[in-house]
Amino acid sequence: MNIAIVTGASSGMGAECVKQITKVYDRLDEIWIIARRMERLCGLSLYSDKVKIRPIPIDITNEGHMEAFNECMKDAKPKIRMLVNAAGMGIIGRFDEEDLLDEIGMVDLNCRALTAFTKMCLPFMQKNSRIINFASSAAFLPQPDFAVYAASKAYVLSFSRALNKELKNRGIYVTAVCPGPVATDFFKIAEKHHKMPGYKKLALVRPEAVVEKAFCDSLKKRDVSVYSFTMNSLRFFTKVLPHSLFLYFWKEGKQ
């Protein structure tokens, strides 16, 4: 049975991946969609008449849920053609002011769960399978007031690129997607205490475009996918200029 798995499928870019995935793989038997909110997943499962969509309501930071999911995979023995790790969260605010559980929760979901999920799926992947990991343009440089989130996404970017190299001889390709701000429910949680700076809102893009580019880059076996001129420019300048310069101006800008 050929399947795709999408985590974070109940909203935003994960949900968009579910909608677009059959354009990339037309021979899927099932798409397994994962998130905590069952009602949202069920809404999405009515979306496609081409392929069966199986909603799996689990919390991927919960060890018991992950073990049960692993058992389910061992029973079904699927061939995973594509894994999309889109589940993630961010909270804007100073590290010394934000709640510890929120900060640790970000690391647990963005890093720990993504790593565990990838490890769990790999035995069921083979030549020409693909992994798409949602990192962020926040991975390109340290971000005061978004410190843990940016660091967690730097982990995803580094992990994905290294894994892509490791898995090349198995014919499995890994792409880290690094969008700037995208118009999704992400900000309902991210802006719980503090608003995103106005200049970032100028770079806001649509999830459809980010996902289309991500699938396109995955097919081209690219290890990094960056949508929009603004974010590609940010990536370029954060490579050629010292990060201390950005941090200096950030500090100056706040005073």
Ligand X SMILES: NC(=O)c1ccc[n+]([C@@H]2O[C@H](COP(=O)([O-])OP(=O)(O)OC[C@H]3O[C@@H](n4cnc5c(N)ncnc54)[C@H](OP(=O)(O)O)[C@@H]3O)[C@@H](O)[C@H]2O)c1
Catalytic residues: 149
Give the residue with the Cβ less far from ligand X, 17 or 28: 17
Give the residue with the Cβ less far from ligand X, 12 or 78: 12
Separation of alpha carbons 21 and 222, rounded Å: 17
Q: Which of residues 187-246 bind ligand X (CB under 6 A)?
A: none
Q: Which of residues 42-101 bind ligand X (CB under 6 A)?
A: 59-61, 86-90
Tell me how far, at minimum, the Cβ of 169 lies from ligand X, in Å: 28
Determine which residue in the list 3, 6, 13, 176 makes contact with ligand X, applying CB under 6 A. Answer: 13
Give the residue with the Cβ less far from ligand X, 9 or 28: 9
Q: Count the residues of the shown chain that bind ligand X, applying the rule CB under 6 A.
A: 29
Q: Which of residues 155-184 bind ligand X (CB under 6 A)?
A: 179, 181-182, 184
Give the residue with the Cβ less far from ligand X, 185 or 248: 185
Give the residue with the Cβ less far from ligand X, 227 or 246: 227
Handedness of CA 189, 195, 199, 202 (dihedral sign): positive
Tell me how far, at minimum, the Cβ of 52 lies from ligand X, in Å: 20
- Give yes or no for a contact between 30 and 20, defined as CB atoms under 8 angstroms apart: no
b (16+ CB within 10 A) / e for 188-209: eebeeeeebeeeeeebebebee
Handedness of CA 36, 186, 149, 238 (dihedral sign): positive
Nearest alpha carbon to residue 32 among 61, 70, 64, 67: 70
Determine which residue in the list 134, 146, 215, 246 makes contact with ligand X, applying CB under 6 A. Answer: 134
Separation of alpha carbons 239 and 178, rounded Å: 14
Nearest alpha carbon to residue 186 among 160, 163, 154, 210: 210
- Give yes or no for a contact between 110 and 134, defined as CB atoms under 8 angstroms apart: no
Could you give the string, one character per residue 24-43, with x where binding to ligand X holds by CB under 6 A and - elsewhere? -----------xxx--x---
Determine which residue in the list 3, 5, 12, 31 makes contact with ligand X, applying CB under 6 A. Answer: 12
Determine which residue in the list 29, 63, 99, 185 makes contact with ligand X, applying CB under 6 A. Answer: 185
Scanning the chain, the segments in alpha helix (DSSP H) are 12-24, 38-45, 63-76, 100-107, 114-121, 147-167, 186-190, 198-201, 207-219, 229-240, 243-254
Residues of this chain that bind ligand X (CB under 6 A): 7-14, 35-37, 40, 59-61, 86-90, 109, 134, 136, 179, 181-182, 184-186
